[in-house]
Amino acid sequence: MGLFHKAIIACCALVIIAAATAAEDRPKKEKWIQLFNGKNLDGWKPKITGHELNDNFGNTFRVEDGVMKVGYDKYENFGGKFGHIFYEQPFSHYIIRVEYRFTGDQVPGGPGWAIRNSGIMVHGQSPESMEKAQKFPVSIEVQLLGGNGKDKRATANLCTPGTHVVMNGKLHKPHCTNSKSKTYHGSQWVTVEVEVRGSDSIKHVVNGETVMVYENPQYDEGSAKKFSKDGNKLIRGGSISLQSESHPVEFRKVELLPLEPGPSKSADSSAGILAPDAKVQLLAEGFKFTEGPACDAVGNVYFTDQPNDRIIKWSVDGKLSTFMKPCGRSNGLCFDSGGNLWACADE
């Protein structure tokens, strides 16, 4: 993170009450909802390419020994029958936790890229809105991959069927982007958590390690024509589904922790400036009324404490000092292209 970003965070910390983000914290008493009951597929709706909703072709999705399984023993050939099983209720702010593993061999006819490949789809379109021949729901995919026993292959990657995101402050359009996760070979169980904050941010966590963070999930141009409202492409919520992509996979836990939505960052200019996982901290206090934050080229932040008739400087080395007193009861501040500080003063 550059000095400018650090300065912006420091500035926000001084002018915003530290508790402002408390609503976004995980609940002290976490109440996880078991989306999969370990007994049957109650609450879930299968949708397989070329078939109507709830036609579970070939018993693709089934429950055995307390585990939700994706199997192809009744398939002669995969034949492009990509499948998704949707939970019956959409969500917006939550953490979904999934424990998965890959087993056996890929069904004949499956594409090479789909070996040991599945996914958790979030912010998806409803299963009812999918066309019969549609392969993938418009959604944000947390791609689940397994290693081949020797090569590196990350999991909890990002794929974007019909969508884009903002990453590192820029609109990110590549269809798939690798995370920084480890490779998980064999049939070991892997735990993935996806923290979804409406249209603000999404975080991927594998076995307790954060491996990817991005912001502002949104429809691409084509999907926006069908799904966006009032020209707003941002996706605030949607369906959750699990994939069948031609390789057997098992899910032994699918649970969800609802989160209280906090102040939205996607509706203002801070989106793309603050790091998605940045936390507001109280750096100093004792002011009567602060305003007018401005940042110089080095990264030092200047702001006014108008009732006390002073301009304060927060330097890049973390030191607070009085830059000017008296200052004509200045409020708004800005720097021009020559590095001069301008103030809007009452006197």
Strand partners, 256: 33, 96
- Number of domains the chain is built from: 2
As a whole number, mean pLDDT of residues 76-100 equals 97
42 and 146 both lie in a single domain? yes
Residues of 47-79 as b/e, b for ≥16 C-beta within 10 angstroms? bbbebeeeebbbebbebeeebbbbbbeebeebe
DSSP letters along 267-313, please? TSTTTTTS-TT----------S-EEEEEE-TTS-EEEEEGGGTEEEE
172 and 294 both lie in a single domain? no
DSSP label at residue 6 = H
Residue 269 falls inside a structural domain: no
Residue 316: exposure state from Cβ atoms within 10 A (0-12, 13-18, ≥19): middle
Q: Could you tell me if 293 and 16 are in contact, meaning their C-beta atoms sit under 8 angstroms apart? A: no
Q: What pLDDT does residue 268 have?
A: 45
pLDDT digits (tens, 9 = 90+) for 334-347: 998 778 999 998 88
pLDDT digits (tens, 9 = 90+) for 194-232: 999 999 999 999 999 999 999 999 999 999 999 987 788
H helix intervals, the chain:
3-15, 221-227
Strand partners, 294: 302
What is the span of the domain harbouring residue 306? Answer: 3-16+280-343
Single pTM value for the model = 0.71
Report the CATH number that the domain containing residue 159 is assigned in CATH.
2.60.120.560
Residue 287 falls inside a structural domain: yes
